[in-house]
Amino acid sequence: MRMGEGREVVAARRLVPVIAAASGRIETGRELPADLVDALHAAGLFRLLLPKSLDGAELAPAEFVRVIEILASADAATAWCVCQTAGCSLSAGYLAPEAAREVFGPPRAVLAWGAGAAGKAEKIAGGYRVNGKWGFASGSRHATWLGGHCRVVLPDGALAQDEAGNLVERTMLFPREIARIEDNWQVIGLRGTGSDSYEVRDLFVPDHLTLSRDVNAEILHPAPLYRFNTNHIYACGFASVALGLAGAMMADFVALAAKKTPREGQARLAESASVQAETGRLHARIEAARSFIACSLEAGMADILAHAALSLDRRMTIRAAASHALAEAREVTVALYHAAGVNAIFNGSPFERRFRDGFAVSQQVQARSNHFETVGRHLLGLPPDLTFA
């Protein structure tokens, strides 16, 4: 155990060799194998952001992203699933205690959901009639519950709006076995996340199993963790997946450079001054990006403890840190893949899968370059789009 490391970080480090050994099965099976899911449950890594009252760790976000980066150094798909379902579990802070216990009380409880408000929820007596199909449900194959983000439909058929004229969204929670699952996750990277699509038709969801995510007025749990919204967790968590991949590829390259002599060369890669300089620069980029995320989240927690909310400036800094780390990790990954030369191109090489996984991460919505535009608008005194901030 390293100085200052919490129990969850230690648990993640101990699982690294187990996860790495399973990486081939994760890739070919396009999901986390049952024995690995068991190990993650036993280590408490599916309960990182659940309230302590539900036997969760209620982990501070800066500590959470450390766990995610460690897991990603062994296998990105595993880290992605843990991160995605942890973000979903923030919903426990928006549910009444008895509802939260219904969903998250069992020791192997996992909630997963797909992207976007792709469903419609018609308000009826006692709840909602839900219809919808959602994609990109990472971790859904080992989930016990699913969520569907929906536009709310009024009895007259109109879409509900809030006081500002925005369409009202609510997330509907329901047992996984109720949904129809479509196995359509055929992709070049992050194959093991099993990010399938799922659908429900005319499903009744009672009021107590619905929530409005990221609406401060609906937060019911007093812990400061739940004042962070899901985008803070997803953006910084997925950036930490990318940093974990980049760090692991750096370790692979260092090992390769110590023994590889380029064709027609007289010295090992490690003895090249240009390789030495580039390695130092890439290391600095990883470390700087990691530190920016940690500092932004720690400062955010300080804001919440002092003011019970994140300031807009702090939200923008978290957004900038995550976007910066995602962009830096992608560029570091490209540079290291190129530096490895022909060794990187073979299936099963230490570089090949990480390269594919890294680019799959960089295609996700949290890695869009226009998030920098959001931050820039705020800094220039213009109203920013807060959708992902």
**pLDDT per residue as tens digits for the range 175-198:** 999 999 999 999 999 999 999 999
Domains and CATH numbers, the chain: 7-104 (1.10.540.10), 111-213 (2.40.110.10), 228-379 (1.20.140.10)
| Full DSSP string of 114-134 | -SSS-EEEEEETTEEEEEEEE
Give the pLDDT band of residue 1 (cuts 50, 70, 90).
Answer: low
| Cα separation, 323 vs 88, whole angstroms | 21
- Exposure string (b/e) for 202-213, b if CB count within 10 Å is 16 or more? ebebeeebbbbb
Instruction: Please state the pTM of the whole predicted model.
Output: 0.96
Give the pLDDT band of residue 4 (cuts 50, 70, 90).
Answer: low
Angle between helix 76-89 and helix 34-42 axes, rounded to 10 deg: 50
Closest CA to 75 of 120, 146, 18, 130: 18
More confident residue, 15 or 349: 15
Give the pLDDT band of residue 258 (cuts 50, 70, 90).
Answer: very high
How do residues 310-363 score in pLDDT, each as one tens digit? 999 999 999 999 999 999 999 999 999 999 999 999 998 889 999 999 999 999
CB 55 within 8 A of CB 108: no
Q: What is the mean pLDDT of residues 289-313?
A: 97
| Cα separation, 145 vs 75, whole angstroms | 24
Percent of the chain with pLDDT over 90: 93
**Mean pLDDT in the chain?**
95
| Cα separation, 266 vs 264, whole angstroms | 7
Q: What is the mean pLDDT of residues 164-177?
A: 94
